[in-house]
Amino acid sequence: MLSILSIVPSATTEAASVYRDRVDPQWARDNSHFWYQNNLAGGMREYVLVDLKKGVRQPAFNQALLAQALTGAGAGKLQAEKLPLDQLHFDVSGDLAFFRVKKQHFQWHRIKHQLKKIDAAMAPRNPKSGNLSQEPKPAPGQKTKPYRPSRDVSPDGKWRAYLKEHNLFVRAINGGEEIRLSPDGTPANSYQTPYWSPNSNNLISFRVEAGRIGEVHLLESSPKQGGRAKLQTRRYPLPGDKFTTHELNWFDVAGKLHVKPKVGLIDFRGPALRWTPEGRHCRYQKIDRGHQRFRVIEIDTFTGKYRNIIDEVTDTFIWTEHAKDHGIPLVTWLKKTNEIIHISERDGWRHLYLIDVASGNIKNQITRGEFVVRHVDRIDEEKRQVWFRASGLNPDQDPYLMHYYRVNFDGSRLTALTEGNGWHNIRYSPDQKFIIDSYSRIDMAPVHELRRVSNGKLVCKLEKADTTELEKEGWQPPEVFSAKGRDGKTGIWGFVCRPRDFDPGKKYPILEEMYAGPHDSYTPKQFSAGRRYSSWTDMGFVVVKMDGMGTANRSKAFHDVCWQNLKDAGFPDRILWHKAYADKHPWYDISRVGIYGGSAGGQSSTGALLFHPEFYKAAVSSCGCHDNRMDKASWNEQWMGYPVGPHYGASSNIDNAHRLQGKLLLIVGELDRNVPPESTYRLVDALIKANKDFDFVMVPGAGHGGGGRHGHRRRQDFFRKHLLDIEPPNYNAPQ
């Protein structure tokens, strides 16, 4: 996977603050209520009490009357808006509050407004006060001990298996002649230590052929300790390299049988066997190289027969890497039933399926519709429910916004736990009957609500963030904008950041911050009090960011645009988005559009000038993967496929360097351990051979990034020169 680079310094946080932007609940021991404190402007604070039984949010007490009472009780002169309460907790049924002020303990009657000093020993405690983790606890269940096969001695203790001359042998523990089970082991294709079946007669062993992985070299030209340059060399698998292969073999000791089940070689990731509790069957996942076939295979260790429990094939790609990147296992084995929950895009959207292991059939589709399952939080086998997060179920909202749901295994009773128009984060009450739902958008400050877990219904509103101070300082949120993509119907979502001193009577050049790696979507969706891209907007640029087709978290068809075509990078959609915005805003100057990005964004930003020079005029590309044949196999084969073919060249910036129009700056760190810097060097070579003009910065000692302070300065000067007609200063002039 290519990393996403933040090559512009992060937005500066203003001195002004946002208030009521978070709720830190302190839950009661008896789950009857919780309270929280709002820190407000000028050091003021207010205390809020929420009665869970009544579903009421209210001031915890009359702070003015309490301040007067505390002053009269000798606690000193106190301000109502700045009460220094410590160890606060409540007895809601008795309308009492307990707290400590200046080492003295008090009891306050919230209705009668009566204050009483109490001994510390008399002050009730609330050991469960505080927060709970975000997700509910797993349902309790009995653990089943899985069968753990021996690697050398048979379970009955009578046989020992061992390797000799690259083959598999067994010999009786009490002596006797050795029995050779395999005939075809060689130094280049040797058997591994086997797995015994519980019947002590059958074994499984993989015959392994080592891969041929090439090396990548980095030259550290300027070591910190001085001396000669240092060469750094490591193995680095590229698309098309031969990976280590594992061939499954089955053996019967008594019958001296050897069978090679026709399950195919495992040539992507090593085998991880999962045994049934009684040990008769072992199962494993197999991802075919190129990511177009995914199987769950079961081997009967008593007979050597095999079957496919799951066998999914596609014409494009199966997104196998999302399990690693997003915490969504492709397969979840249920412990109490002979079932699997499988995530798949077979119907055109990423959904959950319930699989019957015995038959290998789909029992039913758990989730269904034009939305995307983004994360599985919990699988409750007792209640046969899945708790998950998804995007796209609310037709009137940005389709990327994250919401929480619960659904039964049979697909019934889909329950939305969240509702508001924003990206949601939730916290459960200790008894898991309520959630505090906090949501925001990039153009909307956080809102907090109390909702009921049983049906997702609103109990009461809690807080809405106050951005008054920010707005007085001139802060404005980005403007969210959507336009139709190349198909004329799919929404492309992005946002616009304007200069602080924006004047609609002027014309502004555009900078697009670019990343289009197909492994995710990248346009921020949650609120930030910082001024996004202020280092650019303060110079007079308008900055935009969006997700075009070919990125993730939309439909399978939306995602498939990237297949064997990473040069696309959603540019047809991006250009239409720019034009649609310009049609509504005359100050948006699409005759001056620049683009920048790093890593996969470095590939795409250069590609903008190669494949769309009629629109993009200038680009800065940092640590780019300029040819997918020269970057890590695991990431590139997921999207570009296997074997390597002419389509790799069609997407290569290096092969298409002769197409360059517009102004290009390339930046690379000589010690980039993510994307080999030779990718950029070869693009430089190809551009020179094509007699093209460009700028190039190689930063000694730098890794995968934007070139540090020097790279940032060069990037700023480059865009100022080519989009604002401002020549950079003479940095070499005497100071």
Q: Report the relative pairing of strands 695-699 and 663-669 from DSSP bridges.
A: parallel
Lowest mean pLDDT among 67-81, 410-424, 568-582: 67-81
Q: What DSSP character marks residue 221?
A: S
Dihedral angle of Cα 436, 441, 442, 446, to the nearest 10 degrees: -40
Lowest mean pLDDT among 126-140, 334-348, 544-558, 563-577: 126-140
Across the range 390-409, mean pLDDT stands at: 98
C-alpha Rg value of the chain to the nearest Å = 31
Supply φ then ψ for residue 240, to 5 degrees. 90, -15
Beta bridge partners of 541: none
The proportion of the chain whose per-residue pLDDT surpasses 90, expressed as a percent, equals: 90
Tokens of 76: 């000193």
Spatial distance between the Cα atoms of 319 and 402, rounded to a whole number of angstroms: 20
Segment 693-720, tens digit of pLDDT:
999 999 999 999 999 999 999 999 999 9
Beta bridge partners of 563: none
| Angle at 725 (CA atoms; ends 719, 730), nearest 5 degrees | 80
Range among 14-28, 134-148, 301-315 with highest mean pLDDT value: 301-315
Domain-wise residue ranges, the chain: 26-122, 148-320, 480-724
| pLDDT classification of 16: cutoffs 50, 70, 90 | confident
Cα–Cα separations (whole angstroms), residue 390 to 179, 299, 424, 549, 561: 56, 35, 10, 19, 22
293 Cβ contact list (under 8 Å, min separation 6): 287, 311, 312, 313, 314, 318
pLDDT number for residue 45: 95
Across the range 394-402, mean pLDDT stands at: 97
pLDDT number for residue 327: 66
> Which H helix or E strand runs over 189?
strand 189-191
| pLDDT classification of 323: cutoffs 50, 70, 90 | low
Cα–Cα separations (whole angstroms), residue 224 to 161, 234, 567, 657, 701: 53, 21, 38, 35, 9
Residue type, 314: T
Beta bridge partners of 595: 512, 619
- Computed over every residue of the chain, the mean pLDDT equals 93
pLDDT number for residue 113: 96
Residue 5, pLDDT above cutoff 60:
no
Look at the alpha carbons of 410, 412, 418, 424 in this order and tell me if their dihedral is positive or negative: positive
Q: Report how far Cα 146 is from the mean position of its chain's Cα atoms.
A: 32
Beta bridge partners of 496: 479, 544
pLDDT number for residue 1: 42
| pLDDT classification of 139: cutoffs 50, 70, 90 | very low
Cα–Cα separations (whole angstroms), residue 602 to 505, 623, 679: 33, 6, 11
Lowest mean pLDDT among 153-157, 173-177, 346-350, 406-410: 173-177
The proportion of the chain whose per-residue pLDDT surpasses 70, expressed as a percent, equals: 94
Segment 89-122, tens digit of pLDDT:
999 999 999 999 999 999 999 999 999 999 877 7
Spatial distance between the Cα atoms of 635 and 317, rounded to a whole number of angstroms: 12
pLDDT number for residue 176: 87
3-state helix, strand, coil in the chain (%, to 5): 15, 35, 50
Class of domain 480-724: alpha beta
| pLDDT classification of 126: cutoffs 50, 70, 90 | low
Cα–Cα separations (whole angstroms), residue 180 to 120, 239, 254, 257: 79, 38, 12, 10
| pLDDT classification of 145: cutoffs 50, 70, 90 | confident
Task: Name the CATH code of domain 148-320 (choices 3.40.50.300, 1.20.1090.10, 2.140.10.30, 1.10.3720.10).
Answer: 2.140.10.30
| Angle at 713 (CA atoms; ends 707, 718), nearest 5 degrees | 105
Residue by residue, DSSP assigns 614-626 as TT--EEEEES---
Residue with tokens 């204050």: 115
Spatial distance between the Cα atoms of 332 and 219, rounded to a whole number of angstroms: 44
Residue 6, pLDDT above cutoff 90:
no
**pTM attached to this predicted model:** 0.93
Angle between helices 571-584 and 600-611 (to 10 degrees): 70
Spatial distance between the Cα atoms of 161 and 173, rounded to a whole number of angstroms: 10
Q: Cis ω on the peptide bond leading into residue 136 (within 30° of 0)? A: no
pLDDT number for residue 14: 38
Q: Distance between terminal CA atoms of the chain?
A: 44
Beta bridge partners of 191: 207
Look at the alpha carbons of 609, 611, 616, 617 in this order and tell me if their dihedral is positive or negative: positive
* E-assigned strand segments in 357-500: 362-365, 372-380, 385-391, 403-408, 415-416, 423-428, 434-441, 444-452, 458-464, 479-484, 491-497
Query: Who has greater pLDDT, 134 or 440?
Result: 440
Across the range 606-632, mean pLDDT stands at: 98
Residue 11, pLDDT above cutoff 60:
no
pLDDT number for residue 480: 98
pLDDT number for residue 127: 46
